[in-house]
């Protein structure tokens, strides 16, 4: 990859994040946002933080099941610290955390980089499938609402032609990817092939049911963490499950849009909650509370992990 492309991959998400922070703070006065932080019920915020730590601990433990078939028995502590280190590094360079996590496991567990990175990619496949299932659940539970929303916003004839156009485009893209030998087509085929291979590899795992349990557990905890934190603001106490579900989905995508969701996370929450007639100011305040508290924990535990990793492993070696 050329130097200019590397700079763009790092700079663009960061610039977008800064722009979205400016936009978000222009939509709510800083004193009002600070007041929301002061008035919030920190019992639910702390509970949300604890659930976040629990989900990451489960992620670290789940990875041990993937290392075992490779002939390695890594320590849970190293896996846990590698997870938090990866999250912290992702705030600086998008997707660099996965590479750093594999490197940490290579340094402290002697797992070859390519094998360690391969297991992390397979993990991402499982998480992608879970997110797709949550989206499917949202479409199933809220089909009438989503359908009514689009009918109200768009002409039904336009929607029909749009749906037909999407189907035609999907078929054309499928045929193009299947027959083409261009770099784009090969990348798409490689991605889809990896997605399928990663999904099937889960069922060939020795402890596949434990892996599947932890995968479900992680995402249930993610949703619970999101919902519990809404209870910190009285204005959101009557929020519907549908709003939580849609808000969670959009917020999950926002994390990939900018470095760790900076700027994009609160605005994604606002877009979702306003659809369900929630007030804009508390929705935006919730987005900032949720994002800032979870980010603070990642910075603290990620930083401590990077510091303590060599100390912890030096002590173990001496023993």
Question: DSSP string covering 273-292, please?
Answer: HHHTT--HHHHHHHHHHHHH
| Owner of token pair 């889960």 | 202
Q: What is the pLDDT of residues 145-184, one digit of tens each?
A: 666 666 665 566 665 676 677 777 877 777 776 777 777 6
Calculate the alpha carbon distances from 210 to 205, 214, 242 in Å.
Answer: 10, 6, 29
- Sequence length of the chain is 319
| Owner of token pair 């173990």 | 316
- Over range 256-276, report the average pLDDT: 88
Question: At how many degrees (to 10) do helices 183-203 and 208-230 cross?
Answer: 110
- Over range 263-285, report the average pLDDT: 92
Confidence of residue 299 (pLDDT cuts 50, 70, 90): very high
Q: Please answer whether residues 295 and 71 qualify as being in contact, where contact means their C-beta atoms are separated by less than 8 angstroms.
A: no
pTM of the shown model: 0.81
Question: At how many degrees (to 10) do helices 143-153 and 156-179 cross?
Answer: 110
Tokens of 23: 């936009």
Q: What number of other Cβ atoms are within 10 A of residue 206's Cβ?
A: 9
Tokens of 90: 């992702």
pLDDT at 200: 61
Percent of the chain at pLDDT exceeding 90: 38
pLDDT at 166: 77
pLDDT at 318: 47
Q: Which residues contact 131 (CB under 8 A, 6 or more apart)?
A: 219, 249, 252
Calculate the alpha carbon distances from 233 to 42, 165, 301 in Å.
Answer: 9, 43, 26
> Is residue 77 classed as helix, strand or coil in its secondary structure?
helix
């Amino acid at each position: 990859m050329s130097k200019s492309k590397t700079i763009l991959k790092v700079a663009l998400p960061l610039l977008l994040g800064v722009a979205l922070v400016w936009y978000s703070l222009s939509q709510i006065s800083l004193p009002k946002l600070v007041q929301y932080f002061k008035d919030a019920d920190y019992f639910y915020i702390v509970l949300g933080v604890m659930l976040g730590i629990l989900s990451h601990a489960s992620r670290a433990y789940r990875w041990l099941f993937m290392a075992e078939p490779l002939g390695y028995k890594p320590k849970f502590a190293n896996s846990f610290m590698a997870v938090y280190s990866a999250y912290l590094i992702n705030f600086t360079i998008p997707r660099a955390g996965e590479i750093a996590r594999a490197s940490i496991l290579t340094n402290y567990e002697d797992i070859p980089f390519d094998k360690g990175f391969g297991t992390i990619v397979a993990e991402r496949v499982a998480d992608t499938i879970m997110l797709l299932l949550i989206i499917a659940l949202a479409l199933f539970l809220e089909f009438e609402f989503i359908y009514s929303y689009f009918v109200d916003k768009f002409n039904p004839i336009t929607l029909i032609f749009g749906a037909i156009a999407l189907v035609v485009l999907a078929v054309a893209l499928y045929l193009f990817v299947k027959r083409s030998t261009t770099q784009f087509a090969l990348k798409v085929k490689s991605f889809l092939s990896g997605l399928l291979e990663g999904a099937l590899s889960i069922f060939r795992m020795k402890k596949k049911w434990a892996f599947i349990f932890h995968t479900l557990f992680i995402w249930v905890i993610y949703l619970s963490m999101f919902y519990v934190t809404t209870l910190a603001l009285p204005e959101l106490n009557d929020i519907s499950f549908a709003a939580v579900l849609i808000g969670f989905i959009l917020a999950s995508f926002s994390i990939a849009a900018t470095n760790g969701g900076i700027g994009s996370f609160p605005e994604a929450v606002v877009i979702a909650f306003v659809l369900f007639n929630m007030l804009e100011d508390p929705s935006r305040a919730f987005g900032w509370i949720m994002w800032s508290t979870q980010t603070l924990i990642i910075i603290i535990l990620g930083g401590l992990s990077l510091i303590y990793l060599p100390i912890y492993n030096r002590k173990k070696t001496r023993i």
